[in-house]
Amino acid sequence: MKLIIASPSPYARKARIALHEKALPFVEELTVPWNPGTVAPTHNPLGKIPILLIDDGTALYESSVILEYLDTIAGTVPLIPLAGALRVQAKLMEALADGVSDAVVLIALEARRKPDLQSRDWVVRQRAKVDAGLVELDRILGNRDWLVGDTFGLADIAAGSALGYVTLRLPEHDWRTSLPRLAAFSDRLEARPSFAMSRPAPQSIVEIG
C-alpha cells in the first residue's frame, strides 16, 4: 500500500498512526496539495490528502474512510469499537478532534492572506472552536487513560493528531498549562512508536502571483 500525505497534516497522521499500530507495510509519498503539479487530484477529485492506494489500485481518501477500511483487514488490531454505543462515541470523538484540526487549518490559511485582507473576526471565531474543542476533549477524558472505553483506539488517534497539529500551527496557544490532564494524555500518546514515527513537520507552499 502507498499513503500519499502532506507531512504537517493531522488527517494524514491519523492514517499513518493506524497503519503503524496495525503493523501493515506501506510506503509514504509526500506531496503538497496546494502546490502546482501535486499528485493529489490524480487520485482524489477533491485534491485532498491523505490518499491510500491499495494493492488492487483503488484510491481511498478522507482519513475517516481510510481508517474504516484498515479496520476491515483481518489479523490486525481493531481500532474502531464494534459495539454500537462505543462505536458512536469513537466516531463522535473523531468528529470533534477533526473539527479542531479544521479550525486550525482555517487559521493558518487566513494568516497566509495579505495583511489587509485578513479578517480578525474570522480568526477569533476559529480560535473559539479550537478552545471549545480542547476543553470538551479534556472534559470527556477526565481522569481516564483513553477517550472511549478502556483501550487505545480511533478516538485517541484523532485527538492526539489534533493536539499535535495545534502545537505545530499555534505554538503560542498555551493549552498545556490550562488543560494539564489533556497535556499528559498527549504526552502518553506521543511516547507511542506510531506517534513518534508520524510527527508533523512543516512543508513549503509555492507562492503564485
How many degrees, rounded to 5, is the angle at CA 152 between CA 182 and CA 97?
50
Residues 6+ apart with CB under 8 A from 37: none
Q: 99 and 29 share a domain?
A: no
Q: 129 and 47 share a domain?
A: no
Average pLDDT, the chain: 95
Judge whether 202 lies within some domain.
Answer: no
Q: Are 79 and 21 in contact (CB under 8 A)?
A: yes
Judge whether 206 lies within some domain.
Answer: no
CATH number at residue 15: 3.40.30.10
Q: 17 and 43 share a domain?
A: yes
Q: 105 and 8 share a domain?
A: no
pLDDT tens for 143-172 read 999 999 999 999 999 999 999 999 999 999
Q: 43 and 106 share a domain?
A: no
pLDDT at position 83 over 70: yes
Phi and psi torsions of 47, nearest 5°? 70, 20
Judge whether 78 lies within some domain.
Answer: no
Q: 166 and 134 share a domain?
A: yes
Residues linked to residue 51 through DSSP beta bridges, in sequence order = 4, 61
Confidence of residue 207 (pLDDT cuts 50, 70, 90): low
pLDDT tens for 96-132 read 999 999 999 999 999 988 998 999 999 999 999 999 9
Q: Are strands 2-5 and 27-30 parallel, antiparallel or unpaired?
A: parallel
Q: 155 and 109 share a domain?
A: yes
Q: 92 and 143 share a domain?
A: yes
Identify the H or E element spanning 67. Answer: helix 63-70
Identify the H or E element spanning 139. Answer: helix 120-141
Alpha helices in 142-170 (DSSP H): 154-169
pLDDT tens for 2-12 read 999 999 999 99
Q: 63 and 146 share a domain?
A: no
pLDDT at position 1 over 50: yes
Instruction: Report the Cα 71 to chain-centroid distance in Å.
Output: 17
CATH number at residue 94: 1.20.1050.10
Q: 142 and 46 share a domain?
A: no
Confidence of residue 205 (pLDDT cuts 50, 70, 90): confident
Confidence of residue 203 (pLDDT cuts 50, 70, 90): confident
The domain total for the chain is: 2
pLDDT tens for 27-45 read 999 999 888 889 999 999 9
pLDDT at position 179 over 70: yes
Q: What is the pLDDT of residue 209?
A: 38
CA-closest candidate to residue 157, choices 12, 4, 5, 59: 12
Q: Are 61 and 43 in contact (CB under 8 A)?
A: yes
Judge whether 12 lies within some domain.
Answer: yes
Q: Is 176 exposed, middle or buried (0-12, 13-18, 19+ CB in 10 A)?
A: middle
Domain of 34 in residue numbering reads as 2-70
Q: What is the pLDDT of residue 208?
A: 43
Q: 88 and 170 share a domain?
A: yes
